[in-house]
A and B are shown apart, each in its own frame.
Chain A
Amino acid sequence: MDAAKMKRIYLYSRFERIWHWLQAFLIISLIVTGLEIHGAYTLFGYEDAVEIHNFMGLTWGVLFVFIVFWVLTTGEWRQYVPTTKKLFAVMWYYSFGIFMGKPHPVQKSPGAKHNPLQRLTYLGLVTTMLPVQMAAGLLYYTYNQWPQWGLDRFLTLGGVAVVHTVLAFLLIAFLIIHVYMTTTGHTIFAHIRSMITGWEEVFETTEVYDWETTGKKKARS
């Protein structure tokens, strides 16, 4: 890529970046402690693993409420509206185009941070996988209250554990693909850098609103 043809836009706001990395930290520590609780290995010791897992899980629950609130109130939810437009083009790109050095069919822009494939994935995550995983975790956490709430008639710990475990594996799979995909930008670390700084390098041809330029940003803050 020719650097001269690139320009920088402010793509990820401060809150977005904070929740992204906080969530990353929480998910990874939940995976590490969760697998220990599941008996995969010994790292912290069972008791500490449970304590950490519970704490991280509850923290994530609180964070998730803030994230959803933010996404809904800022209108950012539009970023998650699914579309089939260019979906197959994106799939074709990652299957073949990327090897041929073809450009990504969908350029990132403030109005569309996610390509159609990402939209589908994140929508699924945020509306289904994560809420179900959190609900399963909360049920697990409140197991001793089940009889009081009458839940013991419908649920077994084994059933909740299976749901929690299946989703955990799916999340690990997501994490692997997700981390790998960050390396598919115009440089290996381009996407990661933008999630740290907020600034993404895009082609000049991309339409950029003026509030997204450096000067405006400075004025805003």
Chain B
Amino acid sequence: MCLTACLAASGLLLLSTAAAPAAAAEEKAPGRQLADQATKQRHFWNTVDHSKLKALQQVFTSGDQITRACLSCHTKADQQLKKTFHWTWTDPNSPPNDRKGKAQYSVNNFCLSSNAMHDHHCSECHIGWAGKGKAAAIDCLRCHGQKKFNFEEAFGDYEAFSTSSDPDDKEMAKEAQAEIQEAAQAVGRPTRRNCGSCHFSGGGGDGVKHGDLDSSMTTPHKSLDVHMGIDGQNFQCVRCHTTINHNVAGRFYATPAAKNRKSLIENDLSPKIMCESCHSAKPHKAGSKMNDHTDKVACQTCHIPTVARVLPVQMWWDWSQAGKMKNGKPYEVKGPYDRPTYVSTKGDTRWAKNVRPEYYWYSGSLSGPTLKDSIDPTKIIRLAWPVGNRGNHNARIFPFHVHRGKQPYDIERSKLLAPLLSGEHGYWTTFNWQDAIARGQKYLDLPFSGKYGFVKTEYVFPSTHMVAPKDQALACSECHTRPHSRLANLTGFYMPGRDRIKAVDTGGWLLVLGCLAAVLLHGFGRFIFKKNGGKK
């Protein structure tokens, strides 16, 4: 009796401990609470009305003048900025004889190379004035200008009208100058539009590159990005890409965004760039199995179920097909999502929406060959590939958008090539690979054997934006399943639901079926013999 009571009591105890988290379900998960605290202060304030500053009320006839006006107060800004990756396009942590970066020997499978910034189309995204690369003055307004404004055009107009003697033109000139001043005075912290003016259209168009960054992120809804959603937290990029001395936190090439995963409670001066910074390493409710995953699975893996959820992303770019003509003229073929499937200047392209990422171990660093490194053209060349493995305690399983394609390489030297693309001698004008490659290589001081072919390449982008609302996070069964587990490609460890030892399962089921057959046969035997009067 007593034992029965004890058993019942222990059962109740177990039931009640299981029911406790359910009762607290209305409470916020600790990771959410922390993040709410870390981002409570939503309204920035400042003490300067830039339109009142004399320096910004002068006549501007060029971008350089505006920059000088900025620097007349922000005297150290240019020294700070010129040391940053945004200006140098060079990974300072890469080996000096094989520098990485767009201004260096890095190569991708989009527009391939900036030819040491001699390709002006490519340099349009450099934050100097007028795509003139590092020779120009810094264009402060690219990142800080709060007004969408075409300065080059306005300077042209002003120059044309102000030199005229016609009073109407003088009036026009005055208006143009007023607009220039107004735009120059409208400055502030970088917004999503500022950052997006380059980062949303990397690779030469909207959504070509990243998968998790395109113009839909300028004013995203919460369903596209819980942090940046205008109907939610409305974060700007710099909310997480915290900035010190103009150095914006973030990964570039092999240099990780942060060295360790620390929450702001552990280190309040660390950048907010990791999810852990605000959400901690155990963000889910106490006792949740999800907290047991965070040592091996990145937050992004479950919380970014797909990328390119609003606008399509480019999946494939085959340069080997470029150069076809119709009636002697370059042409374009439109495909799904109003995106081209063929452009004479670029070749075949493929696009997709709601793309399921691929998953790899990732320690925060990407690796790949530069234009100086030898390649094996019989294999698919991984131009940017996640570094990390299961044994690395800093590595996590992480989602990636993978862009694949074919691009030119030097058959004799077994190295990738950097053709010049834009400009009057670029491939897009001449459709002459031989010449464009020779010119492009020359800008980089690299040789070219004269023989080129096309090689398959892959380029990964870590998917870290477009974090979905929590109810859209992946279910366990997206990975703990077979044969279509999202992690089917990751081997070397046992994952329940995905893995099994075939011999054990086969043997096990044979045993079970054997037992079933045996008892059925036995029972049938009893039935038959009884019928035959097999009584004692």
Query: Of A108-116, A153-161, A201-209, which binds chain B?
Result: A153-161
Whether A166 touches B508, Cβ cut-off 8 Å, given contacts A47-B476, A144-B292, is yes
Q: Which residues of A contact B167 (CB under 8 A)?
A: none
Q: Per-residue 0/1 for B478-510: is the Cβ within 8 Å of any A Cβ (1 yes, 0 no)?
A: 001110000000000110111111001101110
Q: Interface size for chain A: under 10, 10 to 19, 20 to 34, or 35 or more residues?
A: 35 or more
The 8 Å CB contact of A46, one of B292, B480, B511, is: B480
Chain B interface mostly helix, strand, loop or mixed? Answer: helix
Is B497 a contact partner of A66 (Cβ separation < 8 A)?
A: no
Q: Per-residue 0/1 for A64-104: is the Cβ within 8 Å of any B Cβ (1 yes, 0 no)?
A: 00100110000000000000000000000010001111110
Is B500 a contact partner of A39 (Cβ separation < 8 A)?
A: yes
B48 contacts A by Cβ under 8 Å: no
Query: Of A4-12, A168-176, A189-197, which binds chain B?
Result: A168-176
Q: Which residues of A contact B512 (CB under 8 A)?
A: 169, 172-173, 176
B515 contacts A by Cβ under 8 Å: yes
A214 contacts B by Cβ under 8 Å: no
Is B14 a contact partner of A55 (Cβ separation < 8 A)?
A: yes
Q: Tell me how far the C-beta of A13 lies from the nearest C-beta in chain B, rounded to whole angstroms.
A: 10
The docked-state distance in angstroms from the alpha carbon of A42 to that of B480 is 11
The 8 Å CB contact of B500, one of A38, A50, A62, A103, is: A38
Whether A165 touches B477, Cβ cut-off 8 Å, given contacts A18-B7, A39-B482, A99-B534, is no
Whether A165 touches B505, Cβ cut-off 8 Å, given contacts A99-B526, A173-B515, A180-B523, is yes
A-B contact count (CB 8 A): 120
The docked-state distance in angstroms from the alpha carbon of A128 to that of B167 is 104
Is B523 a contact partner of A162 (Cβ separation < 8 A)?
A: no
B44 contacts A by Cβ under 8 Å: no
Is A165 a contact partner of B504 (Cβ separation < 8 A)?
A: yes
Interface centre among A66, A169, A183 (most CB of B within 10 A): A169
What count of chain B residues pass the 8 Å CB interface test?
47
Q: Which residues of B contact A98 (CB under 8 A)?
A: 526
Is A162 a contact partner of B501 (Cβ separation < 8 A)?
A: yes
Q: Which residues of B contact A170 (CB under 8 A)?
A: 511
Q: Per-residue 0/1 for B419-440: is the Cβ within 8 Å of any A Cβ (1 yes, 0 no)?
A: 0000000000000000000000
A37 contacts B by Cβ under 8 Å: yes
Q: Tell me how far the C-beta of A160 lies from the nearest C-beta in chain B, rounded to whole angstroms.
A: 9
Determine the residue in chain B with the shortest Cβ distance to A98.
B526
The 8 Å CB contact of A176, one of B6, B480, B515, is: B515
Q: Per-residue 0/1 for B1-27: is the Cβ within 8 Å of any A Cβ (1 yes, 0 no)?
A: 101101100110010001000000000
Is B494 a contact partner of A46 (Cβ separation < 8 A)?
A: no
- Extra inter-chain contacts (18) besides given A39-B481, A47-B476, A176-B519, CB under 8 Å: A14-B1, A39-B480, A39-B497, A45-B477, A46-B481, A66-B3, A99-B526, A101-B529, A144-B295, A156-B494, A165-B501, A165-B504, A169-B512, A172-B511, A173-B515, A176-B516, A177-B515, A184-B526
Q: List 20 A-B contacts (CB under 8 A).
A: A37-B480, A38-B497, A39-B497, A46-B477, A46-B481, A58-B14, A59-B11, A63-B7, A66-B3, A101-B534, A101-B535, A101-B536, A144-B292, A158-B494, A161-B494, A170-B511, A172-B511, A172-B515, A180-B523, A184-B526
**6 A-B pairs with the lowest CB-CB distances in the bound complex, closest first:** A169-B508, A158-B494, A180-B519, A46-B477, A46-B476, A99-B529
